[in-house]
Amino acid sequence: MRIVARTMERFGRVDILVNNDGAPPLGRLDEFDDTAWDKAVQRNLMSVVRMVRQVIPPMRAAGGGRIVNITALSALQPIVGFGLSVATWAGVIGFAKTLSREVGPYGITVNTICPGRIATERLEKVDGKRAADAGKDVGKLVEDLQQEIPLQRLGKPEDVAALVAFLVSSQASFITGVTIQIDGGRLGSLL
């Protein structure tokens, strides 16, 4: 991939890879055809696989590196209508866990972040669609959903960035193979 080649040309090494892409369309799983499924798999899962394949050799040669994948809380707590994302991001989580075991001996850490409700343009679109589908006022829907978050607020992109910065730092050098939700306490599971 050109981005890895350019990074190697400019810096002579790759220390960090953060995989963060958009999300497939929302809808019922039985309504998506093979083309939609293939596009979701290519965009969410295979893009991660391809980027990782490119960075592992230079990271191994350098004696280590950090890989962080950003998926979504829905991969841990599925939401109706988010099936393409849930299925493909669950694949990323499984891929990352296995990869962490394979590349750990080379000093490479691999972790996955699952953001919850983060104030982004994507969330605004999702909330707008959900409100329209339910025949609700979007403001009321957002208010109700915010009440499900123990911290009673949406996350900020800076919250996610801070977690990424920690995971790629030397302070996180003994953390690998984990999936961390950043959701204001919203996930309702013990594990």
Cβ neighbors of 32 (< 8 A, separation 6 or more) are 40, 83, 84
State yes or no: pLDDT of 1 exceeds 80: no
Distance between CA 127 and CA 3 in Å, rounded?
Answer: 33
The 10s digit of each residue's pLDDT in 27-63 is 999 999 999 999 999 999 999 999 999 999 999 999 9
The 10s digit of each residue's pLDDT in 8-25 is 999 999 999 999 987 888
Q: What are phi and psi of 148, to 5 degrees?
A: -80, -10
pTM of the complete model beyond 0.85 = yes
The 10s digit of each residue's pLDDT in 57-107 is 999 999 999 999 999 999 999 999 899 999 999 999 999 999 999 999 999
| Architecture per CATH, 2-117+158-182 | 3-Layer(aba) Sandwich (3.40)
Alpha helices in the chain (DSSP H): 2-11, 34-40, 47-62, 83-103, 121-134, 138-146, 157-167
Ranges of each domain in the chain:
2-117+158-182, 119-154
